[in-house]
Structure 1
Amino acid sequence: MQQPQNNKYQINGIQQVGIGVNNLVETFNWYNKYKGFNILVFDDVANAQLMTKYTGNSVEQRRALLSLNLNGGGGLEIWQFTKRKPLSQKSPFLWGSLGINALILKANTKTAQSYEQDLNGNWLVLEPTTDKKNTNSGVAGVVIGVSNMEKALTFYRQLFKLKITSDKTIMGNEFYTISGGNEQFRKVELCSTNENPGGFGTLYGKYKLVLLECLTAKRTKIYEDRYWGDLGYIHLCFDVFNLENLKSTAANVGYHFTVDSADSFNMGAAAGRFAYLEDPDGTLIELVETHKVPICKPLNLYYNLRGDNGNKPVPNWLVKALAIHEKRKLKK
């Protein structure tokens, strides 16, 4: 495998997974009540001016919020068009469809693994938590459908420093019972290797990606002929330190940012730089370098993550301070 240029950057963890919905408030309240995502980091209405490549060359307005679970794991960016009715997938969902198939969450399930759908029909893989308190926690990974496993592995291993922990050929009923037993899949699990993440990496924790290739039938793209922001899992977002170095490293191995805010963006009270690139099947990967996060907005208190601060774990008191943003329920 070709090695990328040795430019220093760090993947701190999965910051969030984007979900396109048609009722943002109901979705937040469901994940809040049943999965513990009760920290509302921001709630923002704005025009997605930089995303026109993925929204039909038109600037679409959206409302977006970021919710976290302080028991650990990545968050959810719940996203809704304000002036456009979001579209559902045109063809029925099949495991191995190209794109994000499911979230992996840590949960107080008693079985080795269980599966359920959220209120919008999106699939969740529930893995038993190792937390002694037996509590639900945030995003611990995602399942991604791919068309060519070797190309996908090259992409994710080169850029995100992941190691293979499992590589199997299985029948559908060995993976998810709802897949049926007649289809054959190659299933590869990748795990993060970073032992010293910066920023909020300690909160995000280790994560895994499950790449799933259907070997017996051709799969279509989940977002074929639809917009980013339409219904479903719209992107996987990594928290990054030194995004500029990641940009040059990706370009050196043939992957280029398709969107780049270039300097700093405001997302409600948070700020930073964001970019997107596509995996070999067009699945959108968001990359965020956070520059500041709110501690207490009424007092205009923020924590600065620029420079070397972004390469160090944030202090424990700051993680605990996020509880200030706890919401039991959003009102319409």
Structure 2
Amino acid sequence: MVVKINGIQQLGVGVEDVHEAWKWYREHFSMDIRMFEDEAVAELMLAHTDGKPRARHAVLALNMRGGGGFEIWQHKGKKPKTADFEIQLGDLGINVGKIKTDSVKSAYKKFSDEGLDLLTKIKKDPAGNDHFYMKDIYGNMWEIKNQKEVFRKKEKSVSGGVLGAVIGVKNMEESLPVYQDILQYDKVVYDKTGVFEDFRGIKGGDKKFRRVLLKHSDVKSGAFSPFFGQSVIELVQALEGAPKDIYEGRIWGDPGFIHLCFDINGMDAFREKVKGMGHPFTVDSAKALESFDMGEAAGNFAYIQAPEGTLIEFVETHRIPLMKKLNWYLDFRKRGNHPLPNWMLKLFRFKRVKK
């Protein structure tokens, strides 16, 4: 089977209180569509949890304007451990979550009116797109970026879901093959080196960087691709100072950006592909189970670790609840993985949580 990368499914966000955090993300980022909520023990993640199964509570939340979701994730069997230093641009791992908007000015005004921590004014990136940076109340950095593509235009929210991420790397040439070859971000939008005006205001942003923005050149055709839309990855390498490992001394699931997850098809072929490229799966649910049950949804998942330490998850979806009250589930092993019609994807709005 041909391996297909269908788009970013979600960005993992580790938190200390899943209920408080999800309420904040609903109110400010309109991440209010509950695709699943599950309390369980992460028994298969031993490579990234100090060899111990970890109890957790997770919610996968989406925004009806489209884009990837947030997997909001809280340790339940241990106290979540925050970083003991202030993360700055260029530190190793996921630095910034990119959120798309079709009106940067409206988003900036809304977040300003709400008294949120805006780090920069609206500025141009090296490709000429408007964007700005901000922090949530947990210290996570977000880039609100111009992206005209919207899934459901009738939504009142000024921002959509995840467009991508800014990832700090130690060596650009070592990390690029993971993102260009494995994740198939084959188009370089820009590759610039210098001190960047649009980074000023971000912790560490006044230093010299090499930054590379990547995107896919093709139109994705997986079941959820019309909802996920286009995505981008921006790699940044600090050329001054000594960047720190964001998760040094901590484990997967601790507060911060814990992973970036992609929806894929062809897990078996993908397993062999990444192994041949020197990045074998560190976690592989298919080796233990035919289909991993995630509460209301099911599928297989796997992880690789990029050279700079970023954990990248891959999910091959087998089943999701479309209308749970009507006992309407979609089984992709029977249906296939061609794009779902928009009217069907728009039914996600009936999963909205308002309070």
Normalised-by-shorter TM-score class:
over 0.9
> How is 1:105-254 mapped onto 2 (pairs within 5 angstroms)?
105-107=99-101, 108-110=103-105, 111=122, 112-130=130-148, 131=150, 135-162=158-185, 163-171=187-195, 173-179=197-203, 183-254=207-278
Question: Judging changes above 3 Å, is the alpha-carbon distance between structure 1 residues 243 and 20 closer, same or farther for their aligned structure 2 residues?
Answer: same
> How is 1:286-297 mapped onto 2 (pairs within 5 angstroms)?
286-297=313-324
1:3 aligns with none
> How is 1:40-51 mapped onto 2 (pairs within 5 angstroms)?
40-51=34-45
| 1:303-329 C-alpha deviation (Å, 9 max, x unpaired) | 11126612x001222211111211012
> How is 1:43-62 mapped onto 2 (pairs within 5 angstroms)?
43-62=37-56
- Percent of pairs with identical residues: 40
Of 27-36 and 301-310, the range deviating more from structure 2:
301-310
Of 215-224 and 170-179, the range deviating more from structure 2:
170-179
Question: Judging changes above 3 Å, is the alpha-carbon distance between structure 1 residues 182 and 106 closer, same or farther for their aligned structure 2 residues?
Answer: closer
**Is 1:315 the equivalent of 2:310?**
no
Of 313-322 and 18-27, the range deviating more from structure 2:
313-322
Contact preservation (8 Å) 2:66, 2:229: yes
> How is 1:252-291 mapped onto 2 (pairs within 5 angstroms)?
252-262=276-286, 263-291=290-318
State how far apart, in whole Å, the 1-side matches of 2:164 and 2:226 are: 15
Amino acid at match of 1:212: V
Question: Judging changes above 3 Å, is the alpha-carbon distance between structure 1 residues 115 and 174 closer, same or farther for their aligned structure 2 residues?
Answer: closer
Query: Residue 115 of structure 1: CA displacement?
Result: 1.0
* TM score, norm. by length of structure 2: 0.87
State how far apart, in whole Å, the 2-side matches of 1:226 and 1:196 are: 35
Q: Secondary structure at the match of 1:150?
A: helix
Question: Judging changes above 3 Å, is the alpha-carbon distance between structure 1 residues 9 and 307 closer, same or farther for their aligned structure 2 residues?
Answer: farther
Q: Which consecutive residues of structure 1, in runs of 5 or more, have no partner in the other structure?
A: 1-6
Count the aligned residue pairs.
Answer: 322
RMSD: 1.7
Query: Residue 70 of structure 1: CA displacement?
Result: 1.3
| 1:176-215 C-alpha deviation (Å, 9 max, x unpaired) | 4224575210000000223132110110000000000001
Q: Secondary structure at the match of 2:170?
A: coil
Amino acid at match of 1:66: L
State how far apart, in whole Å, the 2-side matches of 1:244 and 1:119 are: 40
Query: Residue 15 of structure 1: CA displacement?
Result: 0.1
Structure 1 residue corresponding to 2:353, chosen from 310, 318, 327: 327
Question: Judging changes above 3 Å, is the alpha-carbon distance between structure 1 residues 181 and 124 closer, same or farther for their aligned structure 2 residues?
Answer: closer
Question: Judging changes above 3 Å, is the alpha-carbon distance between structure 1 residues 94 and 62 closer, same or farther for their aligned structure 2 residues?
Answer: same
Amino acid at match of 2:137: L
Query: Residue 244 of structure 1: CA displacement?
Result: 1.3
Contact preservation (8 Å) 2:140, 2:256: yes
1:24 aligns with 18
Query: Residue 175 of structure 1: CA displacement?
Result: 2.4
